[in-house]
Structure 1
Amino acid sequence: MPSDWNNWILQTFDHFARNSRVYTSAIIAKDLTEDSSRSNKTNSPSVQLSACVGLRVLRLYTHNDRVLFQELFEDQRTRRSWLLFSHQGFPELLTPVYFPLDNQVKIVNLSHDGSIATMWETYQVSQKNKQRIVPYGRWVSNTNTEDLNTQSETIDAKTRTGNKARDSLHPFATLGPSKDFKVKARKMRFGVLETLEGDSVLRRTDLTGLYLECTTLEMPIVKYRVPLPQYEPFTILKPQADGKVELEGVFGKIFDALKEITNFTTTCHRVRDGQWGSVVNGLWTGMVKELSEGTADIGVAPLSMSVIRSTKADFLIGLMVSGLARFTSPLRDIVFINFKVVLKRPSNEDYMWSVYTKQFEAGVWGVLALLTVVLCLSLYFASRCSPRGQRLSPSDAFIVGTGMVFGQGSTLRIERTSERGVVLMFLLLQVLLLAFYTSNLVSALTVGPPLPPMKDLEDVYKDSSITIGFTRGSTIANEFNTDNPLYRAILQRLRDEDLVMSPEEGVERALKGGYAYMAWEYFYKMNFGGECGAFLLPPSYFPHQASIALQKDSPLVPILNKVLLDIQSVGLLQKWWMELNVARTDCSALVTAPIELKTVLTPFLLLGCSLLVSLGVLAAEVVVYRNGRPIAV
């Protein structure tokens, strides 16, 4: 058969196998090796078998068989399920082969008469560790079913070899390999097949001998302006004498639980550049960089999951998801994560020059001034057109009218009906002005000025006096680089000095005014929940899950995920998250406080300026009077 037919035959066989739902690829090592030697390098056994997606079966008895299997197994395209038939010496025969922790290889050892077959699994926690061979199941022909019960007890005892003591008092003892794995028996045509239930990889939770280099980022206890309750945040790093750090906090507890259950060892260090991980000028930074370069095996911190980060690292199950922590089913053990805009809350100090004029809008003040002028002119003409009584000059009419607006009476005798009507209009205006102005002024001095009329991030962007920023190296840097017109416009306006190195620095800049900080909502409320000098806009942005990250394609992911689910099932995650509850200050509560000098400085300055103007006018009048006085002879 021509060698160029191989791909066609494999694809045709694959098509029929998919339709029949049962597919076994039986490999004859001799034929496959000979065919490979006759073909070129591009038609290697791995290439020939890459289209086969079912169980691969291979006889493994000789050194050449092992060499062929090693070539096929080390190729990512042909590293799927394998069933190897071998003799009792297979452990020594397979010693040179590296079996990753997540491999799906089963080894069958037949008895001399072919009536009993024992099935084994082998794996290594790392390339530096020795192979571990554990029993998986057995097949017994119908002629040997009388020995089934005895052999079942033998295999079940072997599966427990090396497990922890069931009577251990440690809280994690019941989560590890000490669990009994169920054995499933199936009667077949020629015998009985017994195998362990479930995924083989998930049973490999004993990682003794595995060493992991951990990278982490500290999220410290933050005390800013007001005293905050002490609490354990997500990661607390304690320096060690060798330059490493000891990891504590919630993620430290989770990591310690993983170590206790699986028995691996580790040392942790601070991430070199102090960043989470994002793409800057085409290069990765932070923890993601260390994971992708291999300088760290695992990143322990609430690292946000994103599509671009997933190209360089794998994540465990989400320990934090988008939203705010509610501790309600079915996510009662998960803390939620999203981002909100932090802005400075306005205060009376911000309106030092307008604290006594902002009660009315500019249009209202304009109407009041116009109405005052009209009434003063009316009073003037009413006094002039009357045939009797005191006639007012324009200055007298203005002084009398303005004084009435401010609640000041007059010593002039108002006897004519027209003049009294104008005076009544002045008094009515004064009553209305006093009622509305005083009520608004008292409220403003009591509860402070209202929040800015901003609803979302777009309103903040439209205000050119406010700069938008976020933490350097966080996942937001990649989220802004999308097709969203608003996000792209914000990214184009962003300057390097708009980025901050920590949430504390970001909130500090926001409290100074003119800066909008994109903060992780949950962390902000825990650390700055008592800070009433800032507020959050209602909309949430960039919902994410956050968890522990490992190197890309790490075989540890399914195993550690299984352990995390076991920890969650006993309620430890919920307990640790609930310990993070922090009492927050109700910024809407009314608090009586002395009025500061800045608040009353405006009227004092106005009075002082009026006094100076009065003295100036007096000086001018004296000079004019002296110059115009007749000289005595």
Structure 2
Amino acid sequence: MANPGSRTHRASLKTNTQVVLVVLVTLVVLVVAAKAMDVGRPPDTPTTLGMVAFLRDFIRHYHFDHVNFFTTLRERDRLHLLALQPLQMSFRKVPDDATLWQEESPFSAHKILNIVLVESVDWLRFANATRPQNGVNWLVIGEHVHAMDTLSLPLNNKVTFAEPEGGAVSAQTRAEMGAVARVALVEVYRAGPSVGPNVQVVGHWESGGGGRTLLRAPAEDRSERRFDLMGVELRCLTHEWPPVTINQLVDESGTQEVTGWMGGAWDVLKERLNFTSTCRRPRDEDWGTLTEGRWSGMVGELAEGLADVIVAPLDYTVARSRVVDFVIPVVQVRYIMVVQRANQLAGVWESYTQEFGCKSWAAVVLFLVLCPCVLSLVSKSSPSESTRVTLLDAVTCTLGFLGQQGTSLSFTSAPSRIFFLASFVTTVLLYCHYTSALFSSLAITTNSQPFRDLRGILENGKYRFGFTEGISVENDFKDSANYLYQQVWHRLVMPPPSGLMHDDAAGLARVRQEKYVHMMDRTNFVYLTRGECDLEMLPRPLFSYPSGMAFRKRSPYKEVFSRALLTLMDSGVTKKLIDKWQPKTSLCKSLDIQPLTLTHVFTAFLLLGAGMFLSFSILAGEVLYKNLQQGTSAKISWRREIEQKKSGREEGINNDGLRTTHRLTWFDRPGFKKRV
């Protein structure tokens, strides 16, 4: 009798065998069907298969961390691309909608490569997809000639064409890496809509057999090789900022020729990058400030697309960077405050009165009033004092003390002598303090300004403050949350006459005429005041900004010009231009001792003139008074003499009793007293 357990085991084995046979038959059918589908299909080209080794080398060379494959390959043909693992990758079908070409990649991906693996591409949709994006690059497997007439491919596009050489590859060898022996890397760009495309072969890949490959790939920064702008014309905005930019009017249309050292650098760039330009000044003559959400000046016109580039030292600010793109800075602008030189501020009287303060002068005047009174009082009141000093003599004695002179008065009492010595010592000390301060203020240049910073100007209250209208610092004061800047703007800048000047030259002229502090670039100040020593700058700069050229937002020219300017700076071209245009530092900055001008010594001559006038006036009065007195005496004597003559005639008798007459001879004239 058969064992029930053995019968159950045989039945299970038979069932498993049947299942295996069914699976094998199914696999055979699938293989036959797949081969049948391959019959009549054209062999795959190198643009779809046989380039895994090239892609692997290309991806590794640039360190891409995520790859998107846009392809029409079937699932089974994608198995060759899996050799690129463990690279993050994804396969996407060629979309019907152009927006799907830019699907988002994983958040962790920093460098993305989109690979197009199709023979025929809808280039109109592809053009929208290949707009320059940060960190996104495109590799198109195919010839570039199919895309040149359709794609715009601006100067900063990131599309590389991989063009296999050697033609198609048969289906039997499509999985072999040696099927493609060489791949040329081609880039195409247009410098502008009005110029033709520029085609560059930038590298190649070769397969040497035996698994050996060689990739000669270009640098990742495309601006290094896209230095030919094919004669494109750029619209340029400029502004006067000597010696960086100096503008000269070319014709009545407003075209400007830009000189200065930045203008010289711009001319060098035009020659090296092969482009032309037409420059003009902004319509409102402003640099660019933000008012009620709208930009003025050059920044506003550039943001509106009315120009391509600003050729002027435009300050780099956060607000401006939102609407324009700055190239590498070429100059550091340091805003300093300019005032009249300290020794020029002292006028005719201030040269001799600034040595003492108001309270000190009040004490000196009080001393000059009280000292004669006390000296006269002590000398008259002391019982042991033999010299009685009148008030007039005491005043003369006190003034002599100030001139370091003694007196002929002889004091015998102790109180008089003590007060005399105390007064004399006091005047000696006052004289020493005054003359030491006077010598220092007249002969030595020191920073004796009444303020040293912005807060000092505000607290002083006697000076106005301003700068050129439309520059970057206007927004720093106008829109600042800083209390000090707000107070300066509302109290020193805005009240009429406004502190905003048309240019720095007008600001310096105002500094010379009134108590006004002008803020401007240090380099501009040195250039405009070369050889002049009547102005000086406060020691510390108030603001400092990097400055340079600027392009429209997302302009394709930014990177190219940044690299070109960096090359000029590294090669020393900009330094030579700066040395050519920048004047040497003014000689007055290195001098500690200044010659005395007529302004400083005019007070002394004025006092001398006043003394001479007073002396001659008194002399004239004395002479006139004496003449009048002598004339009166002579008239009285003459009348007396006439009266005596009359009285003698009336008598007519001499002492002898004889009658006679009196006659006057010529001996009776003045000087002769003889009577006949």
Asked if residue 48 in structure 1 is aligned to residue 99 in structure 2, the reply is no
2:377 to 380, 388, 396: 380
Listed as ranges, the gaps of 5+ residues in structure 2 are: 1-58, 75-90, 170-178, 623-676
Residue type of the alignment partner of 2:180:
S
Q: Which moved more, 1:509-518 or 1:598-607?
A: 598-607
1:546 aligns to 2:547 (yes or no): yes
Find 1:73's aligned residue among 130, 138, 143.
130
Structure 2 match to 1:312: 323
2:69 is the alignment partner of 1:26: yes
In the TM superposition, 1:473-622 aligns within 5 A as 473-480=470-477, 481-493=479-491, 494-495=493-494, 497-579=498-580, 580-586=582-588, 588-594=592-598, 599-600=603-604, 603=607
The answer to whether the Cα contact below 8 Å between 2:397 and 2:407 also exists between their aligned partners in 1 is no
Shift of 1:261: 0.8
DSSP-derived class of the 1:544 partner: strand
Q: Alpha carbons of 1:77 and 1:261: their partners in 2 closer, same or farther (altered >3 Å)?
A: closer
Question: Which of 202, 206, 222 is the matching residue for 1:200?
Answer: 222
CA RMSD, aligned part only?
Answer: 3.7
Amino acid of the structure 2 residue aligned with 1:495: M
Please show how residues 144-293 of structure 1 align to structure 2 within 5 Å: 189=211, 191-219=213-241, 234-240=245-251, 243-293=254-304
State the TM-score, normalizing by the size of structure 2: 0.68
User: Could you list the runs of 5+ residues in structure 1 that have no partner in the other structure?
Assistant: 1-16, 146-188, 221-231, 322-336, 619-633
Contact 2:340 2:511 in 1 (8 A): yes
Q: Matched residue pairs, number?
A: 520
Q: CA deviation at 1:256?
A: 0.9
2:658 alignment partner in structure 1:
none
Query: Matched residues in 2 for 1:498 and 1:553: separation?
Result: 36
- Which string of whole-angstrom CA distances, capped at 9 and with x for unpartnered residues, describes residues 551-600 of structure 1? 11111111112222222232211211122232512253322444578534
Superposed displacement of residue 608, structure 1: 9.5
Equivalent residues of 2:445, 2:594 under 8 A apart: no
Q: Does 1:356 align with 2:355?
A: no
Deviations 1:85-130 (A, max 9, x none): 22x4x41344211111111111122331242333221111123333
Percent same amino acid among aligned pairs? 24
**Pairwise CA distance, 1:263:** 0.8
Shift of 1:438: 3.5
Q: Distance in 2 between matches of 1:614 and 1:430?
A: 29
Distance 1:300 1:70 in 2: 32
Matched residue type, 1:98: S
Q: 2:180 aligns with which of 108, 112, 115?
A: 115
Counting only pairs closer than 5 Å after superposition, residues 117-156 of structure 1 correspond to structure 2 as 117-143=183-209
Residue 14 of structure 1 corresponds to none
Cα distance in 1 for partners of 2:541, 2:385 equals: 74
- TM-score relative to the length of structure 1: 0.72
Rate the CA distance shift 1:544–1:78 in 2: closer, same or farther, 3 A: closer
Structure 1: distance between partners of 2:396 and 2:547? 71
- Residue by residue, what CA displacement relative to the aligned partner does 1:5-62 show, whole Å, maximum 9, x if unpaired? xxxxxxxxxxxx9xx973211123699998967xxx9x94156346676111113433
Structure 2 partner of 1:428: 425
The Cα offsets for residues 479-535 of structure 1, whole Å up to 9 and x where unpaired, read as 223333322322233317110011111111122232111110121122214332222
Amino acid at match of 2:584: V
- Between the aligned partners of 2:445 and 2:203, the Cα distance in structure 1 is 75
* 1:214 partner amino acid: C
Give 3-state SS (helix, strand or coil) of 2:203's partner: strand
SS at match of 1:509: helix
The alpha-carbon distance between structure 1 residues 492 and 69, as it changes in their structure 2 partners (threshold 3 A), is same
Of 338, 348, 369, 1:342 maps to: 338
Choose from 86, 90, 98 the match for 2:152. 98
2-structure distance, mates of 1:242, 1:453: 48
Residue 207 of structure 1, CA deviation: 0.7
Aligned to 1:12: none
Q: Pick from 140, 143, 158 the counterpart of residue 84 of structure 1.
A: 140
Distance 1:581 1:200, change over 3 A: same
Query: Which residue of structure 1 lines up, in the alignment, with residue 88 of structure 2?
Result: none
Between 534-543 and 192-201, report the one with greater CA deviation.
Answer: 192-201
Larger deviation: 600-609 or 590-599?
600-609
Give how far 1:471 is off.
Answer: 0.6
SS of match in other structure, 1:140 = strand
Structure 2 SS opposite 1:81: strand
CA contact (8 A) 1:342 1:534 kept: yes
Distance 1:584 1:118, change over 3 A: same
When residues 425 and 134 of structure 1 are mapped into structure 2, their CA distance, relative to the original with a 3 A threshold, is: closer
Contact 1:352 1:602 in 2 (8 A): no
Aligned equivalents of 2:306, 2:148: Cα separation in 1: 30
Max Rg structure: 2
- Secondary structure of 2:468 counterpart: coil
Could you say if the C-alpha distance between residues 350 and 590 of structure 1 is closer, same or farther in structure 2, counting changes exceeding 3 Å?
Answer: closer
Question: 8 Å contact 1:82–1:105 — kept in the other structure?
Answer: yes
Aligned with 2:217: secondary structure?
Answer: strand
Between the aligned partners of 1:581 and 1:591, the Cα distance in structure 2 is: 24
**Cα distance change, pair 601–313 in 1 and its aligned pair in 2 (3 A):** farther
In structure 2, the CA distance between the partners of 1:366 and 1:565, relative to structure 1 (3 Å rule), is closer
Say which SS state the counterpart of residue 381 (structure 1) adopts. helix
Higher alpha-carbon deviation: 522-531 or 547-556: 522-531
- Are 2:530 and 2:583, in contact at CA under 8 Å, matched by a contact in 1? no
Q: Which moved more, 1:280-289 or 1:208-217?
A: 280-289
